[in-house]
Every structure is written in C-alpha cells, then in structure tokens.
Chains A and B, each alone.
Chain A
C-alpha cells in the first residue's frame, strides 16, 4: 500500500507540474493574442473616426478632439483616449486636465517613427489595459486599411496620434474560460491517471503481496509454499525464482523441527553437552537408556556418569579436548538405578568459537559383548569338535586296522602254510579275503593320512621347493625306474614359507599320480614354477599321461573319487588328490587341472610366496 501511495503522489505531482506550466503558457498566449486583437479592433474603430481626428488635430481645437474621442470611447469602451500632435503635445484627452501637456514616451516615438499602431499592456487605475498608439494620417482616404498601410507611402505626413487605453476585460474572461476548461481537463486526466495507476499498481502489488506471504511462510519453516506467478514481467520472474529457491531450500535445508525429530528418532542415545559436560540436550533413547530425564537444561553433569572401562583409561572430556574427537571408546555409563552399562562412546565438537558444544553418541554394547562372547564360545566349540573329530577319525581308523591286520595276516598265513592241501576253490576264496582286507587296510591308511593333514601341524619355515620336489621324486625312485619315466624339475623353483613335510607330499602325490595314470612306454613329467601376480607362485606338474575328461576337473579332488576301475592304473584309493587339495587349502592356495584326454594333464598349484606377509 505504501508503494501505491508513492505511485499516486508521483502521478499527482506530475499532473500538477504539467497543469501549472500549461496554465502559465496559456495565460501568456491568451493575453498576447487578445491584446493584439483589442489593438486591431481599436485601430479599425479609429479608422472610422479618422475624419474627426484629422480635423481636431489639424485645427488644434480641443472640443472637436473631445467629441471625436467620446465617439471612439463609446464605440470601443476605452478607459481613456487622447489625441497627440506630432510634436508630442496633447490636443485633446478624455481626462481634460491633461490637455496641452506633453506626452512624449517610447511607444509614441516608436509608433510615429514606424507610422503603424503600437501597443503595450499597462496598469491603469489598478486595471490591466492595452495602451495603444495609432498614427492619424494627414489626408482622408477611402478606408482605414488604406490609412494603415498606405499612410506611410502616402504623402508620409502625420496629422497626429491617437492614444487609447482599452480594457482587457474580455481577454480576462476568455482566459478564465480557458483555464477553467484546462482545470477540468486536468481533473479528468488526474482521475483517469489515478484509476489506471491504481489498476496497474494493484496488479504489481498483488505479485508483491504474494511474495511477501511466501517469505513469511519460508521464515516460519514452510518450504513447500509456492508463490502464485500472476504477472509475466520482472516481478513474475522474481516470483518464479523465489519458488525455485524455496524448492531448492526444501531439498537441502533442514528445519529445526526436522533436526529435533531426527535426534529423537535415533535409536542410539545421543547427548549434547557444553564443554564442561553439562547436558544441554538428550534424545529419548538417552533418557530411556540412562533413566535420567536430563531436565532442566544444564543440570546434569555427564562427566560424573561416564567411567572408562579400561584400567586407568582416559576421562573422555580431557581426551576430547586433546584430540578433538573420540571414536568408539569403551566406557561405563552409570545409570540412574545404579547399574553400570557398557557403552561405546563416540564424540565430537560442534558449534563455533565461544559456543562450542559436544555431541556424544553412545552405543549400547551389552548385546554386542554378549554375542562376542557367544561367538568365541562357538569358535571354541567348533575347534574342540574339529580336533575331537580328527582324534576320533584317527582312533577309529587305528582301531579298525588292528582286526583288519589280523584278517589279512591269518588269511595270508593260511594261504602260505596250507594252500597246497586246500581245495583250489577254497584257496581262491581265501585269496579274495586276503585281497579285500588288504584293500580295506589301504583305504584306512589313506583316511588316516587325510585326517593327519589337519591333525598334524608341522612348523612352517622357508623351504626350497626344488629340494622338496627332488625329495618327493627320490621317494618314488622305484616306481620311476619301473616305469622308465623321465622326471624333470626346473632349476628355478622358489623358496616359500610353508609346511615342508606337507608340500613334499603334494609333489609326491602329484608325481605319483602322473606316473600311475600314464600308459606310454616312457612317461614324462615336468615340474615348473612361475610368479603369479604379486603374491603367488604357480607350480605346475605336467605329464603326458592319459588325461582327464573335463567334466571331472572338479570331481577328482574329492576323497575316494576314482575315474577308473580298481584293477586299472595301480588301483589307487582316490585319496591322493584329496590330500593334495587339503594341504593346498591349508596354505591358502588353490589347485586346478588342465587336461586333454590322450595327451596329458597339467596340475597347477598356487601358493602364496610368503604367507607371513598376508597375515
């Protein structure tokens, strides 16, 4: 509304100035035009009286002059009139007292010099009049016009001059008329202008009013208010920008209520204190957890409620002052009911200089501690069960072996000592018993070996794999000779940190397999190693044996998994690769096979170059 008042004032002032200027110029123009017109009328009236004026002037008779002047004043309404001789002496005057006096001023001189009528405006008895001087020619002519224009060119002489004061009254009337009309016009313009400006400013102000409302809402925290855009001008653009701004704000700015509700909804206790530890604010979780309501503000000292869990542990506020923040510090919180609650405390400063506050988040670790303990218990149980299982497997296998040895031994003894006296059929059956028990024994031996892998833990050391591979090959020298095999071990096998006994077994089992599953007259086995990435060595045992169908690439590493009948290829039990895999797993390694049937296989073993580095 203030803006509207400003607009109205401005418009009115503008109109007033315009009106004032207008009236001023109008008045001047009107007066001048009217004065000329009055002078003209006086001139033509004088022309009608030229005869009497000429006679009065040439004769110098005052009475004749006064008569002629009266006739003139009656016709024109002049306030005064006088006849003046060319020498500047008044021949006759309506004011008879002035007859015979000199009248020699500028207007008379100008008019007599120019020989034409001259006028000016003067005040006469307090009234504005047109003071006009009209030359009176010497000879009478046919018309006043001829006198005016030919008087100069006639014989050039002047009988004298007529001077008259013609009132400006009609001019004043016309002027008043015009000014009245102007004022009326100005009033109409003013009213129109005010109405129009009211309309326009109303439109503008409506947008401004909406903006004002929008700002009030935003200040109250309502970021979803959208200002209606009612105009398409700059203000409309401002309104649109304002809406964009509040939309942006609603996405990025959080209100106090929002923060409070956030704080309240946090499941973990959160406490805000001053630097001295006095509680300024605490969420519901904090109150429920501790039992304190923390009211009124600043009345509770958090320092006295916290106690380090560790012996001689640091007081959290001094720790905070020293390091700026605390992360997951194990503390006791002394609850209102006297309980000591295990918590994990994290804290940091907030706020600026002079108004620093401490934000603390407590995590209830009771449950955490319990599950940790439970986990440790489970782990221990698993370990116990595992070692019991190993011991069990070992004992069972061992105890199974004893009677089995008996069966094998005595069936052997029967065959050795009594076969000649026996029915051949009985001897055959007996030899089958002997073989079956022998096979059973080997299975149990392998099971024992498999169980031994995890049961026996030899010390790890830096061992030369080249040496281990050679030892493994040496252990198989009989078989190698028998098969006329060629085993080559690359000279650049590395030293690795491992259980050397077990790694030797890996080589031994792989070489042994390569020899067994090979029907060439001259089996060839090559052991090589290369760096695999930054952390691993890749050992490869390559043979030219019978190969493995690709669908068994995974299967072969399972316990007692055999791809051939018991009679073929030395009748192994199928434990060798399972043991190898178990050892490789124990070394955090990996084993896989590449093979092509009829051409040979390559077993790849990845072992970390140094297990210590990864631990």
Chain B
C-alpha cells in the first residue's frame, strides 16, 4: 500500500467533457490518485498553475503530473507545453500528452518541447481502464517525481 505522500494529484487539461468523465471514471479505480483537477483550456490551466487571471489570489496549483490534450480551443496543447516549459516555476512538472492524435509530427513536437510522455486516447473503456492501470504503475511505482 502506497503512502499518502506518494499519492498523485493530476491536472487534466481537456475541453471534451466525455473524456474528462471517462478519465475520472478510470482513475477512480485507483486509490493512489488523490484527485483530478480539470482545466477546460490552456489559459485556464496556466491561470490555475500561476494563480493568475480568473485564479488570481488563489493558491497556485501544484499537481504531480499534467495530462495535456493537443486539440484545445484558443491555444493548442503544444503552445501550452511551450509556456509550461519556459516557466521556471512550472517546468519541473512532468507533462504527459493525452490526445486522440497519433500523428507522427505531433508526437515529435511534443517530445521536442519537453513532454514526459505521449499517450493516444484509447478507444474503448476496457482499454482506458487498462491504460489507467499501466499509468499508475509507471508514474507511482516505477518513476520518481520531484514532489
């Protein structure tokens, strides 16, 4: 049994309500994930992390991991990734891309800009559950995170 301190908190940047629901449902199985915060677009995610804009005055969010979609309104995922990695306070947070795209160039651009991983959204709930299991195994049991 993992310790409380080792539990993961996740920020999910995702505009698709369905995907949010599915992800929340999938991660619900696992006790090691303390909570899933959701940002609907890139700007909201940055505001939450830096306590700016609509989030001004609030405590900046410090998730163990960011799940970032690529197709987002206004600012796409790669642009958000660039902003995160150019911010000294945020660049230590591992960012894992979670997207429907399996385009080679998207994968390449993500890693080039500092993504820690790239996952294509599974098509069925079984696969999604399986993915969540593997994800937890990797990020909680295998990898060490800065905090």
Contacts and interface: CB of A to CB of B under 8 A. Distances in A.
Given A409-B22, A409-B128, A413-B22, A402 B123 contact: no
Contacts of A415: 125
Contacts, number: 37
Given A402-B16, A405-B18, A413 B100 contact: no
B124 A402 contact: no
B23 to A, nearest CB: 10
B18 A408 contact: no
Interface string B113-146: 0000000010111101100000000000000000
Interface string A391-428: 00000001001100110111011011100000000000
A441 B100 contact: no
A441 B120 CA distance: 15
Given A405-B100, A408-B123, A413 B18 contact: no
Contacts of B22: 409-410, 413
B104 to A, nearest CB: 8
A438 interface: yes
Contacts of A413: 22, 25, 125
A504 to B, nearest CB: 13
A416 B18 contact: no
Contacts of A406: 18
Contacts of A434: 124
Contact of B124 (A398, A401, A408): A408
Interface string B100-117: 100000000000000000
Contacts of B100: 398, 401-402, 405
A8 B43 CA distance: 132
Nearest to B18: A406
A402 B128 CA distance: 15
Contact of B126 (A398, A402, A405, A412): A412
B125 A405 contact: no
A409 B125 contact: yes
A481 B123 CA distance: 25
* Interface range on chain B (Cβ under 8 Å from partner): 10 to 19
A402 B25 CA distance: 18
A412 B126 CA distance: 7
A374 to B, nearest CB: 36
A438 B123 contact: yes
Contacts of B123: 405, 408-409, 438, 441
B124 A412 contact: yes
Residue among B22, B124, B126, B129 with the highest chain A CB neighbour number at 10 A: B124
A115 to B, nearest CB: 162
A438 B123 CA distance: 8
A438 B127 CA distance: 12
Residue among A416, A417, A434, A438 with the highest chain B CB neighbour number at 10 A: A416
Interface in B60-105: 100
B32 to A, nearest CB: 21
A11 B68 CA distance: 132
Nearest to A410: B18
A409 B18 contact: yes
A482 B125 CA distance: 24
Contacts of A408: 123-125
Nearest to B105: A456
Interface in A437-464: 438, 441
A52 B128 CA distance: 193
Contacts of A405: 18-19, 100, 121, 123
Top-7 shortest CB links A-B: A412-B125, A406-B18, A413-B125, A412-B124, A409-B22, A409-B125, A416-B125
14 contacts: A402-B100, A405-B19, A406-B18, A409-B22, A409-B125, A410-B18, A410-B22, A412-B124, A412-B125, A412-B126, A413-B22, A413-B25, A417-B25, A438-B123
Given A405-B121, A410-B22, A438-B124, 19 more contacts: A398-B100, A402-B100, A405-B18, A405-B123, A406-B18, A408-B123, A408-B124, A408-B125, A409-B18, A409-B123, A409-B128, A412-B124, A412-B125, A413-B22, A416-B125, A416-B126, A417-B25, A434-B124, A441-B123
